[in-house]
Chain A
């Protein structure tokens, strides 16, 4: 058939050539579809690289020889060919392609499949939804763009970690973070922090090393059926990233250069709404306290400062409304009065200072991206190069992020049936931040410092930016409190820092050998090597309960992480008969992870400010290493029938290196099917209504292997555990706190999903729906043990978690632009709802607190949502009345009571794109409904009397409830400060929990593309200007307005904890513009 046709064509050509030999002329015309002219249609002379595109009116013109064949192609349309004849005009009407959904997606192990054949959900995000964004973090850019994926920032700090959860949490001791695959090979996406969340949880998630501008597309494999071939690594879903370097298949032959330059401003978005009526003190009396319950800024009235006029100039107010300067009256032992003789006798004005807003700055983000690609004239050799530079200044002083990316990729189809392709990338990321650690309204409670620990509740009358922060004699921190017990945030910025300087090389090498038309053999090698150089220091003179922090410390360590990945696969594709095809992939793979940490911890600084290890008194080593290998054998078979029924079966067996021989191997199968009724059933498909319908179902399994060395019994040795009378350090042995469990098995996940995909109304509406249930059993649990067992925890397999959820994506072209002057409006919704419930815990356990603190954290409780927040509550009597003590405050009942559910009920995102002429306007709006948050930020702002909610403070409160001692209704009056301070801030934990529902304008942008005509005489192929903003507005509508709190924060860092804020997460808003040019 094929030969016959080409023969006929050749004949036809020869005939035509005879009469129109070498006659070049200009052909023009209009290309349209059934709704009108079609701009952007590619018009190419067949067999050459000459071509053009239709303009906004669907018009084109091209020089061609008579007899040449013009190819008209457009995405979603059937390609048409017309031969140039006598006429100078060729008008074409393109028809919607029957194969409109022959969209090819990248699936597990890089296997490309037609989307209609998939029995499971895959979301694809195109590069235009990722590029030119204000964040250099690919995960944050991805946020809200696909259903089923929940992305949370640990904070708005530049370079801070990002938490990604696909289809909810299915495990609670194992990681729930998805697998990153970049250009076919695994990519480390871990987050290394200097310490735990209490003492310092700054640290970037390593996908930060990717330049979003260099990404061609992202596929998100959500379900297990989709990820089976990745084995246990894929159980949390897979983010498959294809970079432009890795996409070298369809490169234009002419060299194309794309340059993007962006510039953004970066501001704190969650600035509280501070009140300006009252200042520092307690009970309307002045004092240099933490709290802001002092007198009014007015002289008169019951709360006026006039009541505290004191003849002693060092106490209370002078009649002119001034106080003694705090550096004059500070305790002599602080050294402050001696170090600041200029403040002896100085007066300090009693007024509100705008300390917190002035502390922050407007950061900037400049990013440049250059992309060059091209191919040899025969298309057999193609290449791509990327350069990216991202330079970001955070809104917090001392916070910066700089990144340089260099990448290169290429492909060569060799004459001997070999195809080789490879990528190599280099990323250099330099992240610096002042220390950030947990605080609950009394400054930090761990061993580290935190720039935010005491910042947000700076009393209104304290002039943070006006007071010197450094003792000129010692270099130590000085601040307003009379015993100098708060580390000045400005001192922290100048004298303490955590930095992560990363050099990373990653890439892949792949080769394919075509055995015959039906069979090929591939080998792929992936290498990802990261050197993360960490520095954490604080000069001496800080304020802490921890002497090592006060004495100054300097810690430097390198994390070297290597992933080697080899895969050999045999791929085949056979046509069984006219109706049936079968294809298969089978292979073996090995993955080796090597983590190695080396460094030195020094403490006791001698010369102030000198950060070299020799300048410190003691040194201890930092050393940790871990190696784990996973081997896999995998196979997949797909059978399809008449292009409307597709059945896939897959399986993988994994062997892991850190479990006992009996438990190290596990097989997990999957099966999925896809059925296209619109193809199978005649008459179902109609042009006006249902264009396409697919029904799919999939069943998948996977496993979670533990990390580390869970079956090894350990003994600790500490050479500096203590010191004896003679001053000699004591060496101790202590048994390991983790009980080894030689019987530890992998945990198992099973998932069943169904879905439909449909296109309707001339492809104007596009719907994808998925529903799934999943079950995790034999959970690997870091089970806390009663220390009376001799151990504090063990990894064990217990329990069952049941998850279910739905995901929906709906896209509608509300207006389809008929011509350049018409308005086009596309709207897209995605909806995610997910619920994970603990069904069983087993082994006599009814609660496991797996994140946070044992008495305030996220727990697994039978019958409760996974991650339910537990803590203390208001004690109640048998009738449920709150109990109040004799002071009039709530009685706290200690224990692990439910205080909130941090899981949102649902998340709805909508993206709207409006095009008009050369303008393009779009916005992404997010609505997260539900999800509680324990917010130290809110409770501190209330409890310390700082925000507008606390202005009405002269009245008394009577807490509803009954007196504990009498059972009678409570009638004890307490004042406003006691209400907020002793109950809301430092009372039962349940009072610090708020509903975290939030509406957010996540992205908004306005772009303008210069008309082609204007560029004709310039070197530019295209030029686009875009102004955009990120997180410009949000409203956590169930939290106190004055706190302006942004619930998009994870105080416990990247991991399985959520719903906690420990004064460590201001959020950021960004706005600016970018220019994109191609040459």
Chain B
């Protein structure tokens, strides 16, 4: 027995050394040392995160909208297959987890600390986010959303009710912007702390909401006009709402995503849209050198800048050797290439990717802060750091858009002259905005290539004439719509909505595929929603229309697909 005690004391001593402070027997190790706890949250830091997530979300949805409306190039011959459900997972996550849930985390802190500006910005962002989700997907969760463990399968709300809620949020936002605050946000990526501009933005967003639902809301135009008459909306480019990107290329990569994709060591990754480049080139649009940077002076199978033909080249442009499809011939659309070195792709073209990264036309100084096109061509091929280094913008609410919406109101009312004058103002604001991105941003560019006042004036005259000379109301709509689309380069959300709302323009380059399936009237629900939420059912197809779209079903509407 004595020896047993000896043994036990030996065991005791041994384990005493290693059981030190009961380290190995402590059963209360539930706290995660690798993160903060929610109680340590900071309203400024949360709002910073909300803004960055919102900026990325709008840029992403803006690219999708632009691709569908030929402002950007879209790859895919089959509309239902162009964007797979999982392709929208990131946006869905950003909207709900990145934006909405963080807003919910910030609200009690901001409310307790009387941070009204924080709350107002959050309400604006929430309204814009929810409205955009409705525009892209239709009915989506809102009232049951972001309640965490209380509801793991939030039900969708009707798009119409979300629109109503957004208007309410914007009224609260305006009230908050007007209210005194105990502190202002650390960073305001949009207006640098100018809350007068935030109020204008909130009113402009209300105008946009009314306009979007004008087909289903008899009072929409009256509500729209009420704001117009207050005058407190974005009517001048100086008040435009943009998200600002920065130059840092890594850790963090804060560059404009389109810049990051195109200004790489192996050349561009995106194609630009042949429809938009061709339309702007034909009309001598003064914005074209800001929007697009050409890396070569001629494309295979086309005339170069000097009017000399460039031989077709199967290696760099496979389609330069293939015949024009019948439906392109019949509609008189450009096929495969454009003159003057504008090297893009046709809508829907899904050919393999040739090694043309240093040949194709890339996004220019507006809005991505790339290079200004000064006819340098191959001398200034894309490379990281070139041009404005990617410290560009994602336009969100523009003065030009306000004018184009006013023009739309006039068109609907049959008031052609008001429509024309708002179109002209829209063009004017857009050119003003774009011109601010010239050689100031791209220090290597030759500023003499910036358009002269005369060139701008003659362009504006030409557009006015085109509107006046248009034979039919449809043609006038087309002039207006095409100019609206040009002004929306950088964010196609409003273009996608306008296109489904009005059906114009009818002159867009159709899909290279003669039977591309029905146009995307709303997108597939993201896989992250349809596959994991038991109250979600994937929609029957992309032909499902959102609540404000009472136009005829696809195909047949919109026309140019």
Contacts and interface: CB of A to CB of B under 8 A. Distances in A.
Interface of A: 281-283, 285-291, 315, 331-334, 416-418, 476, 481-485, 509, 511, 513, 515, 521, 523, 525, 541, 543, 545, 547-548, 550-551, 564, 566, 568, 590-592, 603-604, 618, 620, 623-629, 631, 655-660, 664, 708-709, 711-718, 720-725, 727, 729-737, 739-741, 783-792, 794, 843-847, 849, 853-855, 872, 885-887, 891-892, 894-896, 964-965, 981
B370 to A, nearest CB: 14
A713 B37 contact: yes
A733 B102 contact: yes
B25 A722 contact: no
A885 B513 contact: yes
A892 B524 CA distance: 14
A714 B359 CA distance: 48
Given A786-B528, A790-B146, A855-B84, 13 more contacts: A289-B352, A331-B359, A483-B357, A483-B358, A523-B14, A592-B24, A624-B34, A657-B28, A718-B49, A783-B532, A787-B89, A790-B97, A885-B513
A709 B45 contact: no
A566 B52 contact: no
Nearest to B192: A725
A790 B38 contact: no
**Interface footprint category on B:** 35 or more
A593 B313 CA distance: 63
Chain B CB count within 10 A is highest, among A281, A735, A737, A887, for A735
Nearest to A541: B265
A541 B383 CA distance: 13
A790 B84 contact: no
Given A894-B524, A895-B538, A732 B45 contact: yes
A895 B357 CA distance: 32
B46 A894 contact: no
B27 A788 contact: no
Interface of B: 3-4, 7-8, 10-11, 14-15, 18-19, 23-38, 40-42, 45-46, 48-49, 52-53, 77-78, 81, 84-86, 89, 92-93, 95-98, 100-102, 104-105, 140-141, 145-149, 151-154, 187, 189, 192, 244, 246-254, 260-261, 264-267, 269, 295, 313-316, 318, 352, 354-359, 378, 381-384, 391, 513-515, 517, 524, 527-529, 531-536, 538
A515 B4 CA distance: 7
A739 B246 CA distance: 32
A484 B265 contact: yes
Contact of A543 (B53, B85, B266): B266
A714 B527 contact: no
Contacts of B40: 715
Contacts of B354: 287, 289
A547 B31 contact: no
Contact of B251 (A485, A548, A623): A548
B47 to A, nearest CB: 9
A619 to B, nearest CB: 9
Contacts of B52: 721-722, 730, 732
Contact of B187 (A485, A551, A724): A724
A523 B13 CA distance: 12
24 contacts: A287-B314, A315-B315, A332-B358, A333-B267, A418-B3, A418-B7, A483-B267, A551-B250, A603-B250, A625-B33, A709-B31, A715-B38, A715-B105, A721-B49, A722-B48, A725-B244, A727-B247, A732-B48, A735-B97, A741-B149, A788-B529, A792-B97, A794-B149, A846-B534
Contacts of A591: 24
Given A287-B355, A484-B265, A657-B27, A735 B101 contact: yes
A855 B48 contact: no
A543 to B, nearest CB: 6
Contacts of A849: 531
B30 A734 contact: no
Nearest to B48: A732
B314 A285 contact: yes
Contacts of A894: 81, 84-86, 524, 527
Contacts of A965: 515
Contacts of B140: 788
Contacts of A885: 77-78, 513, 515
A61 to B, nearest CB: 47
Contact of A787 (B37, B97, B358): B97
Given A854-B86, A872-B84, A894-B81, A631 B7 contact: no
A737 B35 CA distance: 12
Contacts of A732: 45-46, 48-49, 52
Contacts of B4: 513, 515, 521
B152 A785 contact: yes
B419 to A, nearest CB: 37
Contacts of B85: 855, 894-895
A367 B145 CA distance: 61
B45 A731 contact: yes
Contacts of B152: 785-786, 789, 794, 843
A412 B530 CA distance: 66
Nearest to A655: B27
A564 B24 contact: yes
Contacts of B24: 564, 566, 590-592, 629
A536 to B, nearest CB: 15
A567 to B, nearest CB: 10
A80 B167 CA distance: 99
A591 B26 CA distance: 11
A175 to B, nearest CB: 19
Contacts of A846: 534
B87 to A, nearest CB: 9
B315 A288 contact: yes
Contacts of A718: 49
Nearest to B254: A723
A75 B29 CA distance: 51
Contacts of A727: 246-248
Nearest to A625: B33
Contacts of A564: 18, 24
Contacts of B86: 853-855, 894
Contacts of B269: 545
B266 A790 contact: no
Contact of A715 (B28, B41, B92, B96): B41
Given A288-B355, A711-B30, A788 B92 contact: yes
A331 B246 contact: no
Nearest to B380: A333
Chain B CB count within 10 A is highest, among A551, A626, A712, for A712
B145 A332 contact: no
A660 B81 contact: no
Contacts of A887: 77, 513
Contacts of A543: 265-266
A720 B531 contact: no
B541 to A, nearest CB: 11
Contacts of A713: 37-38
Given A566-B18, A786-B154, A849-B531, A548 B148 contact: no
B89 A735 contact: no
Contacts of B84: 855, 872, 894
B97 A721 contact: no
Contact of B531 (A334, A484, A736, A854): A854
Chain A CB count within 10 A is highest, among B35, B98, B266, for B266
A790 B27 contact: no
B75 to A, nearest CB: 12
Contacts of B358: 331-334, 482-483
A625 B31 CA distance: 11
B136 to A, nearest CB: 14
Chain B CB count within 10 A is highest, among A511, A629, A787, A886, for A787
B315 A660 contact: no
Contacts of B53: 734
A416 B151 CA distance: 66
A822 to B, nearest CB: 55
B30 to A, nearest CB: 5
